Chain A
Amino acid sequence: MATPSSRRLETSKVQVSTHFLRKREMINQVARYILMLAAIISVLVTVGIVYVLLSEALVFFEQVSVWEFVSSTSWTPMFSRPTFGIWPLLSGTIVVSGIALAVSIPFGLILSVYLSEYANPKVRETVKPILELLEGVPTVVYGYFALIVVTPLLQTFLPGLPGFNMLAPGLVMGIMILPYTTSLSEDAMRAVPNSMREGAYALGYSRFHTATKVVIPAAMSGITAAFILAMSRAVGETMVVAIAAGQMPNFTFNPMEGAATITTFIVQVSMGDVSHGSIAYLSIFAAGMVLFLLTLIFNLIGFYLRKRYRQAY
């Protein structure tokens, strides 16, 4: 009785058929479930990652003690008597991403303050595409650049620098992730309401004071999030290091030496001829699990902080 078609006067031109309404609702429901399926597939990707890493890593840890994995400082999976201490890979990862962050954090902070507080819109519009360009260059090209251009350049200042070292890829990676760090921290500063800036200017603050005393403190959680997410990016970066740092596991914190990272070890094993189920094959999943956990922790902290600043303003 409530259907519009029965309700409409016979004279009305706008007659809606109940058949059409039923069809429309059916399409709506079908669309809802198809789209939902697509969204659920994205969850299955995570489930797949966790499943693969866990199942292979568990087999690995049946053969290698967890204690050896977390305490030994020797990583020689290809030797006839292999050792599996994660520390040489971790040290390489820490040194390379440490250098990258030492470049990217101050540069990113300066650039984002410059863009959000100093630069006029015209400059901003020109800088954005340049940063996008910098971000668009494939990482393998950055690896080439670190090995073929930056290392020889550094060798003119540091004569003892070997061809494979952690310094060059670290520096290049710092520039490589600069667009990422910059845009994240600029977002955080843009989120600071203009009324706060106006309040500062009304008190006679200079631009510099407004930026350092008002905007940066107000955007602090967002800026921290940017750096933590940059850290996650640096730790997971593969090709620059694989090409320019050599792939020899080396327990050292000296950036002048070559070393392997967690990611480059996985590349090294994948490039070789390693049979399925062998201990070397399994070891890349154990290494991958460490990498996944590290980045997961960084990402979760980063997202939590970002969410907080978005709610704050």
Chain B
Amino acid sequence: MKTLSENIKSGIDYASLSRKNRSRDIIFASLGIIVLFIAITTLVALFLDLAVRGAPRLTDPDFYTSFPSRRPLDAGILSAWVGTIMVMLVTAVIAVPLGIAAGLYLEEYASKNWLTDVIEVNVSNLAGVPSIVYGLLALGLFVQTFGMGETVLVAGLVLSLLILPIIIVSTRESIRSIPSELREAAYGLGANQWQTMAMYIIPAAKPGIITGAIVGLSRAIGETAPIITIGALSFIAFLPQSPVSGDFPFISFEWLNSGFTVMPIQMYGWVSRPQADFQITAAAAGVVLIVMTLMMNALAIYIRYRARK
């Protein structure tokens, strides 16, 4: 007489079961690789198409130093890249300190009460609000109610608000990744909250915080929809006034109130033109835009890599 378990054992064909399992595993792993392949193909096709199509304009130095033009092959991105840099400057000055400060408050000071709950729910919700809704906020509030117009300042403001949740969340995550031993060591020596934060937590979290800020800014560079909503134009044939001048007081903030265009708006303006030649200009602008965001991402990755070492 065999026991029950012996019966079960003899009934199982381990070899075929293992074959079946292995083939299932292989099928699934290949599926994963296929999806990965599709994603990579998309990425490569996108880069290649932009680079090949945009090559004639990209290799023309005038492309970087000319204003947009009605003639596609004369059109350049001067006002767009200058505008992008100025808008990003405003965004960085507003969003980075504000986002880091809010993140620090939530991690270091906030006690468990209703106000903290409201702020937390609010931040995670803001992260999911579509960018164009921020554009409507800027249009209704800054442009119309405050009468600020379609200026560099308003564009910088709206992008700041847009990336604020990204910076808050990444600040909080990098603070949270600091081992609690460091915090306890500081408090154990008699440090108060401010000292613990300023002398120990911020220096340790700095790489993470900076990385988060750069990632947020690189997202802002490519944002188009909210800038369209506030009424930015793609045909701007002038530069904002220079922030530095030869005369006293040498620094001017006139540029904040200037009209502007930015890279993604410029590209969108060209993509929507019917003439085929404008597609070339658009592709070239796309390459420049991608290079700008990639450079920022590479910087972020480099900082993260160096901090890990």
Chain A residues within 8 Å of B, Cβ to Cβ: 24-25, 27-28, 31-32, 34-43, 45-46, 48-49, 51-53, 55-56, 107, 110-111, 113-115, 118-119, 127, 129-134, 136-145, 147-149, 172, 175, 178, 206-209, 211, 229, 232-233, 235-239, 242-243, 263, 266-267, 270-271, 276, 284-285, 288, 291-292, 295-296, 298-300, 302-303
Contacts and interface: CB of A to CB of B under 8 A. Distances in A.
Given A49-B134, A136-B293, A285-B140, A144 B283 contact: yes
Instruction: Name the prevailing secondary structure of the B interface residues.
Output: helix
Given A35-B109, A239-B268, A141 B21 contact: no
Contacts of B99: 38
A236 B31 contact: no
A133 B170 CA distance: 18
B239 interface: no
A235 B130 contact: yes
Nearest to B226: A238
B83 interface: no
A229 B124 CA distance: 11
B133 interface: yes
Interface in B186-203: 192-195, 197-198
B42 A134 contact: yes
A292 B132 CA distance: 10
B136 interface: yes
Given A140-B264, A175-B42, 9 more contacts: A24-B195, A49-B136, A137-B222, A138-B223, A141-B46, A144-B271, A208-B21, A239-B268, A266-B229
Contacts of A39: 101-102, 105-106, 110, 119
20 contacts: A32-B109, A36-B109, A36-B110, A51-B141, A111-B39, A114-B32, A136-B293, A139-B225, A147-B271, A206-B21, A206-B24, A208-B21, A208-B24, A236-B129, A238-B131, A238-B132, A263-B130, A270-B228, A276-B144, A285-B140
B31 A114 contact: yes
Q: Interface extent on B, as a size class?
A: 35 or more
A230 to B, nearest CB: 11
B191 to A, nearest CB: 9
A296 B224 CA distance: 21
B125 A46 contact: yes
Interface string B121-159: 111111011111111110111001000000000000000
- 6 A-B pairs closest in CB distance: A236-B130, A114-B32, A138-B222, A38-B101, A52-B140, A206-B21
A36 B122 contact: no
B4 interface: no
Interface of B: 21-22, 24-25, 28-29, 31-33, 35-36, 38-40, 42-43, 45-46, 49-50, 53, 97-99, 101-102, 104-106, 108-110, 118-119, 121-126, 128-137, 139-141, 144, 161, 164-165, 168, 192-195, 197-198, 218-219, 221-225, 228-231, 264, 267-268, 271-272, 279, 282-283, 286, 289-290, 293-294, 297, 301
Contacts of A147: 271
A288 B271 contact: no
B131 A236 contact: yes
Contacts of A34: 101
B28 A113 contact: yes
B286 A144 contact: yes
A130 B136 contact: no
Contacts of B229: 266-267, 270, 284
B36 to A, nearest CB: 6
B161 to A, nearest CB: 5
B5 to A, nearest CB: 14
B125 to A, nearest CB: 5
B29 A114 contact: yes
A238 B130 contact: yes
A193 to B, nearest CB: 20
A208 B130 contact: no
A242 B272 CA distance: 9
Contacts of B104: 35
B293 A138 contact: yes
Given A149-B45, A291-B130, A302-B128, A140 B39 contact: no
Contacts of B228: 267, 270-271
A133 B32 contact: no
Contacts of A263: 130, 132, 225
B175 to A, nearest CB: 12
Nearest to A229: B128
Nearest to A32: B109
A49 B132 CA distance: 11
B133 A113 contact: no
Contact of B132 (A138, A208, A288): A288
A267 B264 CA distance: 14
